[in-house]
Amino acid sequence: MKSFSNIAKGAVAAMALLALTASCKKDLNRPAAEQKNDQTEETTPRAGTLLWSDDFNGTSVNTNNWNIINGNPGVNNEKEFYQPANVSVSGGFLNITARKQSVGGQPYTSGKLTTAGKYQPKYGRIEARIKLPSVQGTWPAFWALGANINSGTPWPSCGEIDIMEQVNTSSTILGTMHWAIAGGNQHTQYGGSTTTSVTGFHTYAVEWTSTGIKWFVDGTNYVTGNITNNINNTGAFHNPFFIILNLAVGGDLPGNNINDGALPCTMQVDYVRVYSLP
């Protein structure tokens, strides 16, 4: 899955960095350093020109846009085996389905897609309209990893932007940035949370510029991270990232109390779009 997650709302000059989630690995307890943030409420996204999109209007995943992952990621103590059979496109939607099914030594199967090597934006508004399953033991996510993770830069030094994470039956949406503090690969993170009715469709987005990252749900900005001039060693966020959609089962963040009776369950995606920002 990813490396990831959580908390903040309102105007503040300096905020503490939180600990919550992961892809390559997430530390839920590590305290983090402070960073100054421009935490302003913004309800009107500033999207400009459409740069890239997938509206899932065909009958199968567009492999010019996406890689379909096969295998267990080996991180976060997740219990799923990702495979193409759990990913489908129909009726204008991408469907990522988690099942109680033993494959590859794992007790569950699910789906994961990435744009690695196919589309790797640097800055812009990245958004998706998604409906979540809200099932105990599931961990759906819409996120991005620094593309240089595939050329030798390890996590967390590559950087990670969690646009949306949700676990179990919670109504809480997490938005988080992960990176390494100066002097090594020591993980730190900063982020926030908001709430919504997760089983309905909502638009989850970040607006990412050379000065910061803002997280939105349905057009409302709920947390902002500052990356101006690589403050607090945030240089990772000035490089290209690739986009990821996945539905994990079990793991460090949701725990491994999984409601098998609620499976199969599906994370449904209406579209993914990337816009320039004026």
- Residues acting as catalytic residues: 160, 165
Farthest-apart Cα atoms in the chain, separation: 50
**How far does the chain reach from its first CA to its final CA, in angstroms?**
32
How many of the other CB atoms lie within 10 Å of CB of 74? Answer: 9
Whose CA is closest to 78, among 138, 33, 17, 158?
138
Residue keyed to tokens 């905020």: 15
Whose CA is closest to 227, among 241, 242, 246?
241
Residues in Cβ contact with 107 at an 8 Å cutoff, skipping those fewer than 6 apart:
79, 100
Specify the pairing of strand 80-82 against strand 106-110: parallel
Check residue 3 and report its DSSP letter. B
Q: DSSP string covering 56-109, please?
A: --SSS--TTT-EEP-B----TT--EEE-GGGEEEETTEEEEEEEEEEETTEEEE
3-class state of residue 191 by DSSP: strand
